[in-house]
Amino acid sequence: MNYKKCLLFKYICLYILIIKFEITKCNLIKKYNKPTKFSMDTYDENDEYIMRYHLNFNYNTNLFDERDMLKIIGGIKVSIICSDDDIDNDNIEKNIVLFWNIATVNSFAASAPYINAFPIWYLYQKNKGKIFCLRIDAVGWFNNANESICTENKPCPDLINLETSQV
């Protein structure tokens, strides 16, 4: 009999914890509006503007609805992704995080996973009061290893992809 009471008590405690977690999750969703609209400006090898892509993020899949398109576009050396609320807003202070990726100009597919991860990171940082955009430079393997950085013409990257699961 004591075993049944103990088991019932454990189930009730587990049920209470699950309810508390769901209430907390609902409150967080209400408290922090999750942005779904993002814009990505793209530039070619000569730093000339190509176009702006409008992307819709799906928090159920944690991917952009346009994820297939992101894998096949090419000719992009630099991409800058921001929330639609921030990209053209000069009234707010925002940082641009510079990420050197080993992708080449011909294949944007290697940068697509980082583009897809941006909204989750953005939401986490925004909830802490920080607003930023992510700039991904497709520098390729050779430039990643040999190009000088932290000079007047080449700012220091905040992140460098070493392709060894290290960023």
Q: Do 126 and 164 meet the contact criterion of CB atoms below 8 Å apart?
A: no
Euclidean distance between CA atoms 122 and 20, whole angstroms:
26
- How many C-beta atoms lie closer than 10 Å to residue 146's C-beta? 9
For the entire predicted model, the pTM comes to 0.74
Give the residue from 77, 69, 73, 74 showing the smallest Cα distance to 43: 77
Return the SS3 of 30.
Answer: helix
pLDDT of 66 > 90? The answer is yes
Return the SS3 of 5.
Answer: helix
pLDDT tens-place string over residues 103-159: 777 777 888 888 999 999 999 888 888 888 999 988 887 777 777 888 887 788 888
Domain ranges of the chain: 1-31, 37-160
Q: At CA 145, angle to CA 141 and CA 147, rounded to 5?
A: 105
Backbone torsions φ then ψ of 55, nearest 5 degrees: -120, 145
Greater confidence, 104 or 100? 100
pLDDT of 68 > 80? The answer is yes
Question: DSSP code of 37?
Answer: E
Please, which pLDDT band fits residue 160 given cuts at 50, 70 and 90?
confident
pLDDT of 13 > 50? The answer is no
